[in-house]
Amino acid sequence: MKVSVIMVCYNARDVIETALRSVQAQTFSDIEKVVVDGGSSDGTQDIVAGYLKPGDKFVSGKDGGIYDAMNKGIAMATGEVVYFLNADDSFCDANVLVDVAAKFTVHAGADLIYGRVIWKEMPLIPSRYRMPFQFTSVCDFMDNTICHQAVFARKALFAAIGHFDCQYKYAADCEWLLKAFKHAPRAFLFFDRDIACYYYLGRSYQQGAHTEQEKRRIFFRHFSLPVFGFYIVRYVWLRNFRKLLSSGKN
């Protein structure tokens, strides 16, 4: 089984070497690195070149955003299983891919395996906190989403349900995972294992308001009206409750 590790980057000179080293350190042998660079001008490409091996893929040039770049990576990948590793993230240890590949072998019917991530630099949360999730219902997506740094998917799943929808600039991965779960919930397999160290203060965190707006559009698209109405009522109630708690501290 070949695993394609897709890395999307842009001017990531200060962080990408740690990510590349964590891929290089994997004890799993059949790895294909697919690096999609947005046209970096800070030396990122030179660093990447030092880690490319025969069979790896690299492309650099302007793209339509992170999800367009991720879709390019999927099209370039030749592995049976694909995984997305951000430039400022890294695998938790050297045996991640060995363990995940073994899980796919044992569970041949699994289209998607997801585990846990360790949040880095998460405000007010211990650095070793492991993001907990085990999705049993589509409604679980209202409470959280599966961090894509924890997800391994068969490439055939993208062929079955489509790639990331680039109309969403901040939450297309959430929409794709929701669509995949609806497509084949029994093919989702939770693996109680740490997968990646995830930089929480990245793009989704920095654009939190935009991300939430997109999630509301996504939920309206995928849920029935009563379920979506329940989500909105609960969202507004929680937001007001948090404001009340915050004002009480002042």
pLDDT single digits (tens) 21-49: 999 999 999 999 999 999 999 999 999 99
**pLDDT, position 94:** 98
pLDDT single digits (tens) 141-185: 777 778 889 999 999 999 999 999 999 999 999 999 999 998 988
Q: Which residues of the chain have pLDDT under 50?
A: 205, 241, 244
**pLDDT, position 185:** 87
d(CA 88, CA 73): 17
Task: Kindly list the structural domains of the chain, giving each domain's residue range(s) and its CATH number in brackets, ordered by start.
Answer: 3-224 (3.90.550.10)
Residues 6 or more apart in contact with residue 182 via CB below 8 angstroms: 138, 222
d(CA 54, CA 186): 36
pTM score of the predicted model? 0.86
